[in-house]
């Protein structure tokens, strides 16, 4: 196989929607869109001039590439249901190893993982999204394909990708949960959460040019015990938030101690 021209999407969720539309705009033919919810399949298929199906048995073998983009816990079961094991197939998961394809009988497979958070209604500039690729046979083909969408493409093996996905959970999912807690605290006290948004933007922008540890601020890094105690007392009626505050404060303090000890050991 020298070129990929036709692509089928197995899945019609957030990631599949962004990728399918991006490839369609790059003049790739989207052969089929599968979803067990036919309405989702129809909605995406309509956007990319494709055929919608809701039964995996109806998957044809006409495409150069099949992109499986579904929930992680459904990947293995869905792969087992695909009849033609000779198709070139990839998944977009950050945490499922490439070995899942061999375990389910496929011969030509890989990983096509875009490291970004996706929502159907928010446009994303895929040129800035890192893509991690891995394959058992056609790695360079996947690399070239990712280059059609992104300026940041990387060969990343399954073990590296697993750690990268874990890091992404801390950087994205856990961080967003902190925003949700902050918003909840504002709402409970009749404060407009928008007041915090310039602070959120500045915090995120700082680490584009610096190491996160080097720009840490706040009472924990300063060792301001009175402020910390005051904050914990304010959370007496919110035990979960109080525990999160304690754990993160302890982690920041310990990180500062470890950093100081490492510097002192240098000759």
Among candidate residues 17, 10, 24, 150, the one with its CA nearest the CA of residue 74: 10
Whole-number pLDDT of residue 1: 59
Question: Domain for residue 51, yes or no?
Answer: yes
pLDDT values of the chain reduced to their tens digit, one per residue, 267 residues: 568 999 999 999 999 999 999 999 999 999 999 999 999 999 999 999 999 999 999 999 999 999 999 999 999 999 999 999 999 999 999 999 999 999 999 999 999 999 998 887 788 899 999 999 999 999 999 999 999 999 999 999 999 999 999 999 999 999 999 999 999 999 999 999 999 999 999 999 999 889 999 999 999 999 999 999 999 999 999 999 999 999 999 999 998 776 555 555 555
- Residue-number span of the structural domain to which 108 is assigned: 6-156
Report yes or no on 244 lying in a domain.
yes
Instruction: Give the strands of the sheet with 153-155, arranged side by side.
Output: 51-53, 29-34, 6-10, 65-68, 88-91, 108-114, 131-135, 153-155
Task: Decide which of 138, 156, 174 is a domain's last residue.
Answer: 156
If asked whether residues 28 and 59 sit together in one domain, one would say yes
Task: Examine the domain organization and report whether 79 and 125 are in the same domain.
Answer: yes
Is residue 266 in a domain?
no
**pLDDT on residue 221:** 93
- What pLDDT was estimated at residue 129? 95
From 131, 156, 181, the end of a domain falls on 156
Say if residue 191 is in the same domain as residue 65. Answer: no
Number of domains within the chain: 2
Q: In the chain, where does DSSP find H-type helix?
A: 14-25, 38-47, 72-81, 99-103, 139-147, 158-168, 175-188, 197-206, 219-222, 225-234, 239-265
26 and 113 in a single domain? The answer is yes
Residues 75 and 107 in one domain: yes
- Cα 53 from Cα 81, distance rounded (Å): 14
- The pLDDT score that the predictor gives to residue 266 is 52
What is the bridge-based pairing of β-strands 65-68 and 88-91? parallel
């Amino acid at each position: 196989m020298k070129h990929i021209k036709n692509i089928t999407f197995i899945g019609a969720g957030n990631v599949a929607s962004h990728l399918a539309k991006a490839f369609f705009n790059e003049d790739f033919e989207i052969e089929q869109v599968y979803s067990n919810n036919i309405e989702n399949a129809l909605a995406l298929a309509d956007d990319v001039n494709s055929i919608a199906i809701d039964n995996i048995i109806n998957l044809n073998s006409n495409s150069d590439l099949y992109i499986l983009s579904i929930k992680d816990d459904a990947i293995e079961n869905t792969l087992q249901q695909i009849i033609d094991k000779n198709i070139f197939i990839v998944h977009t998961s950050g945490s499922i190893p490439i070995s899942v394809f061999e375990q389910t009988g496929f011969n030509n497979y890989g990983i096509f993982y875009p490291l970004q958070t996706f929502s159907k209604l928010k446009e994303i500039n895929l040129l800035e999204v890192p893509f991690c690729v891995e394959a058992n046979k056609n790695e360079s083909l996947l690399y070239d394909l990712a280059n059609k969408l992104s300026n940041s493409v990387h060969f990343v093996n399954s073990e590296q990708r697993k750690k990268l996905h874990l890091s992404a959970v801390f950087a994205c999912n856990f961080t967003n949960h902190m925003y949700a807690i902050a918003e909840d605290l504002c709402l409970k006290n009749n404060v407009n959460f928008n007041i915090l948004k310039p602070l959120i933007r500045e915090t995120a922008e700082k680490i584009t040019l610096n190491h996160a540890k080097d720009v840490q601020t706040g009472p924990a890094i300063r060792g301001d015990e009175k402020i910390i105690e005051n904050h914990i007392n304010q959370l007496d009626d919110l035990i979960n938030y109080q525990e999160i505050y304690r754990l993160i404060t302890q982690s920041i303090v310990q990180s500062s101690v470890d950093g100081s000890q490492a510097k002192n050991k240098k000759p």
